[in-house]
Amino acid sequence: MTADDSEERPNPPRRGVKKGLYLIPSAFTAGNIGMGFYSVMSSLRGFQLLGSSIPDIGRATEHFDHAAVAIGFALLFDILDGRIARLTKTTTEIGIQLDSIADVVTFGLAPAVLAYVWGYGATLTEGSHLHRLAWFLSFMYLICGAFRLARFNVQASRPRILAEGTPKVDKKSYVGLPIPAAGGLIASLVHFSPVPLIALGTEKAQLYSGLLMVLVGFLSVMMVSTWRFSSFKTVGTNVRGMRTIILALSVLMLIFLYSQYVLLAVVISYILYGLLSRMIGIFWRRSDASEAKIEANPGRG
Q: What dihedral angle (degrees, nearest 10) is formed by the CA atoms of 91, 92, 98, 101?
A: 80
Architecture field, domain 15-234? Up-down Bundle (1.20)
Burial class (CB in 10 A: 0-12, 13-18, 19+), 173: middle
Could you read off the pLDDT of 59-75 as tens digits, one per residue? 999 999 999 999 999 99
Could you read off the pLDDT of 74-110 as tens digits, one per residue? 999 988 877 777 777 766 777 778 888 899 999 999 9
The residue type at 154: V
- % pLDDT > 90, the chain: 43
> How many DSSP H helices and E strands does the chain contain?
11, 2
Mapping DSSP to helix (H, G, I), strand (E, B) and coil, where does residue 175 land?
strand
H helix or E strand, kind and range, residue 139:
helix 129-157
pTM for the complete prediction? 0.81
Could you read off the pLDDT of 12-26 as tens digits, one per residue? 444 555 555 667 778
Question: For residue 277, what are the CA distances in angstroms to 183, 190, 213, 273?
Answer: 21, 27, 25, 6
